[in-house]
C-alpha cells in the first residue's frame, strides 16, 4: 500500500493535508465504510512542539462520518491507547465497548520512537478481503506513516521560533500568502497586526536578557490565549510580533487591538526575586483589501501605524490615516 503524494507545505499546516491523503488511501484500499484519525497529545510532545491546538477527538475523518455516535466515540477513545498493533474488532468486543452502530472496527496504531502519535480507526471493513493480507499491507503503510510524520515534524521545526513556540518570520510570510490568495479568491477580508513591546531594552539593561526573554515568551503566550484558534500569532523578530486575523475587517481588528493592549497591560511580569513590572505595547494594523492589496503594502502600513503610535509616548491607538 503506497500513500498518494501531494505537494505539502513545509510546516505544521501540511499535516492536515497529509492526514486527509492517508485516510483517502485507506478507504480506497480497504473498502471501509468510514475512516477516522485520532491524535493523542496527552501522550506525546510531537504535536505540542508544532504549536498545534489538537484535541483528542477525531482530528480528521472521511467517508460516512456519522456511522459512530458521540457516545461511541467517547467509549472508543478510552480503549485506543491500550492497543499497540493492528487488530480487527468484531461485534462481541464492540458490544463490550458499547459500540453498536458498526459491525467491525480496524484499529491501526501509529507509534514512533516509543511515542504514540495517533490511531487510525476504520469501520465496516469489506468482508470480501483477506484479513492477513490486509494486515501485511497495513504494516508497510504504518512504516511509511511513521517516517513521513517524523520528516514533517523535523521540517516544521524550521518554521517555529525556539523562544516562544510561535511561528517565525519565515512561516509568517507563507501564512500571509495563503490568506491573500484565499481572500482574493473568495472576496473576503483579513487583517494584520504588527506589535512591538515598548522599552524592552530598559528591562534587558536593568534585569538582564533572561528577564527580557521571559517578557517576550509570556507576552507571546498571552496573545495566543487571547485570540481565536484560526488566527496566527508569529514572532516577527526581536520584540516584534505579527498577527494574522482571518476573516476580520478593520473594525474587528481595532476591537482586537484594544483587547490585546488591555490584556498585556494588566499582566504583571515577574522579573527577579520580588521585582515585577507591567509593560506596554504599540500596535498598528492594516486590512486587506481596504488599506492595501499586496503583502508588502499590508506590512508597511501596519508597521508605520505601529511606530506612529509608539512615538506618541502613550499607549493608545491614535487615529492613523492610511491611503486606500
126: cell is 469489506
The active-site residue, picked from 239, 255, 266, 303, is 239
Q: Are 30 and 126 in contact (CB under 8 A)?
A: yes
Q: What is the C-alpha separation between 41 and 19, in angstroms, rounded?
A: 16
Strand, coil or helix: what is 15? helix
What is the DSSP secondary-structure string of 61-104?
EEESTTSS-HHHHHHHHHHHTT--S-EEE-HHHHHHTT--S-S-
Identify whether 239 is a catalytic site residue: yes
190-197 sheet: strands from edge to edge: 232-237, 240-246, 190-197, 281-288
Q: What is the C-alpha separation between 171 and 156, in angstroms, rounded?
A: 9
69: cell is 455516535
Integer angstrom CA distances of residue 69 from 48, 102, 121, 240, 290: 28, 10, 14, 46, 45
Q: Point out the residues that are catalytic.
A: 239
Amino acid at each position: 500500500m503506497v500513500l498518494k503524494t501531494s505537494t505539502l507545505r513545509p510546516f505544521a499546516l501540511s499535516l492536515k493535508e497529509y492526514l486527509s491523503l492517508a485516510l483517502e488511501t485507506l478507504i480506497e484500499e480497504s473498502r471501509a465504510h468510514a475512516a477516522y484519525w485520532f491524535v493523542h497529545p496527552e501522550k506525546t510532545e510531537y504535536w505540542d512542539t508544532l504549536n498545534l491546538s489538537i484535541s483528542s477527538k477525531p482530528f480528521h475523518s472521511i467517508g460516512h462520518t456519522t456511522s459512530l455516535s458521540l457516545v461511541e466515540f467517547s467509549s472508543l477513545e478510552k480503549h485506543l491507547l491500550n492497543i499497540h498493533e493492528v487488530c480487527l474488532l468484531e461485534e462481541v468486543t464492540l458490544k463490550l465497548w458499547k459500540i453498536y452502530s458498526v459491525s467491525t472496527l480496524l484499529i491501526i496504531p501509529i507509534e514512533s520512537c516509543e511515542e504514540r502519535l495517533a490511531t487510525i480507526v476504520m469501520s465496516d471493513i469489506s468482508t470480501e478481503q483477506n484479513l492477513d493480507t490486509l494486515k501485511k499491507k497495513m504494516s508497510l503503510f504504518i512504516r511509511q506513516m511513521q517516517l513521513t510524520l517524523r520528516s514533517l515534524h523535523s521540517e516544521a521545526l524550521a518554521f517555529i521560533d525556539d523562544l516562544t513556540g510561535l511561528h517565525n518570520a519565515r512561516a509568517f510570510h507563507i501564512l500571509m500568502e495563503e490568506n491573500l490568495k484565499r481572500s482574493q479568491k473568495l472576496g473576503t477580508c483579513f487583517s494584520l497586526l504588527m506589535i512591538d513591546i515598548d522599552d524592552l531594552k530598559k528591562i534587558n539593561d536593568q534585569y538582564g536578557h533572561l528577564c527580557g526573554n521571559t517578557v517576550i515568551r509570556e507576552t507571546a503566550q498571552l496573545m495566543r490565549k487571547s485570540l481565536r484558534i484560526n488566527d496566527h500569532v508569529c514572532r516577527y523578530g526581536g520584540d516584534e510580533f505579527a498577527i494574522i486575523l482571518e476573516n476580520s475587517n478593520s473594525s474587528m481588528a481595532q476591537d482586537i487591538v484594544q483587547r490585546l493592549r488591555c490584556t498585556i497591560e494588566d499582566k504583571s511580569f515577574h522579573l527577579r526575586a520580588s521585582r515585577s513590572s507591567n509593560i506596554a505595547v504599540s500596535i498598528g494594523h492594516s486590512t486587506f483589501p481596504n488599506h492595501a492589496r499586496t503583502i508588502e503594502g499590508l506590512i508597511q502600513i501596519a508597521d508605520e501605524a505601529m511606530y506612529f503610535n509608539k512615538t506618541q509616548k502613550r499607549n493608545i491607538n491614535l487615529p492613523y490615516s492610511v491611503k486606500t
